[in-house]
Structure 1
């Protein structure tokens, strides 16, 4: 999953495991604010100064 401009000057790459309880807390409490406010990605996916890339990498 990706969000934001592909050519943005800032790229945040996130590897996570959705089964991890700490990942759940991050997804509820921190990530929405980080993506929306700090990275300045608009709701329509255009504009902003960052590109967010998410990859689900569960621990084996």
Structure 2
């Protein structure tokens, strides 16, 4: 009987222990249930130059 009480106490302590880890963000899922990979991060120096608007000659 003593072992059951000790096991119950350990279970209670484990359930009430502090968890300092932030919850993991949910993975994006498409409508069909397929995982969607996050877009790759682009560094600012890798960005293409902004397109200039064409100048109309008269």
TM-score class, shorter-chain normalisation, is under 0.3
TM-score, normalization by structure 1: 0.23
Q: RCO (CA 8 Å, sep 6+): is it higher in 1 or 2?
A: 1
TM-score, normalization by structure 2: 0.23
